[in-house]
Structure 1
Amino acid sequence: MINDNDVIETLDELETFLRLVENGGLGLENVAGVAGVAGVAGVALATNNSDGRPFVAVLDDNHQLLLGRYVSNDVYENGKDMVRYGTKKPH
Structure 2
Amino acid sequence: MIDDQNVIETLSELEAFLLAVESGSLGLNDVAGVALATSNADGRPFVAVLDSQHQLLLGRWVSQDVYENGKELVRNGPSRVH
Distance 1:84 1:25 in 2: 20
Report which of the two has the higher share of strand: 2
Unaligned stretches of 5+ in structure 2? none
Identical amino acids, percent of aligned pairs: 71
- 1:88, distance to aligned residue in structure 2 (A): 1.0
Confirm whether residue 63 of structure 1 aligns to residue 54 of structure 2. yes
CA distance in structure 1 between the partners assigned to 2:5 and 2:28 by the alignment: 19
Aligned-residue offset at 1:89: 1.5
Pair 1:10-2:1 in alignment: no
Partner residue in 2 for 1:23: 23
Moved over 2 A (4+): none
Which SS does the other structure have where 1:52 is aligned? coil
Q: Is 1:87 equivalent to 2:78 in the alignment?
A: yes
Tell me the TM-score normalized by structure 2: 0.98
Deviations, residues 43-86 of structure 1 (Å, cap 9, x unaligned): 00000001000000000010000000000000000000000010
Instruction: With the length of structure 1 as denominator, give the TM-score of the two structures.
Output: 0.88
The 1-side partners of 2:67 and 2:61 are apart by 9
Q: What RMSD in Å do the two structures reach over aligned CA positions?
A: 0.5
CA deviation after TM superposition for structure 1 residue 6, in Å:
1.1
Tell me the number of residue pairs that the alignment of Structure 1 and Structure 2 aligns: 82
Which consecutive unaligned segments of at least 5 residues does structure 1 have? 33-41
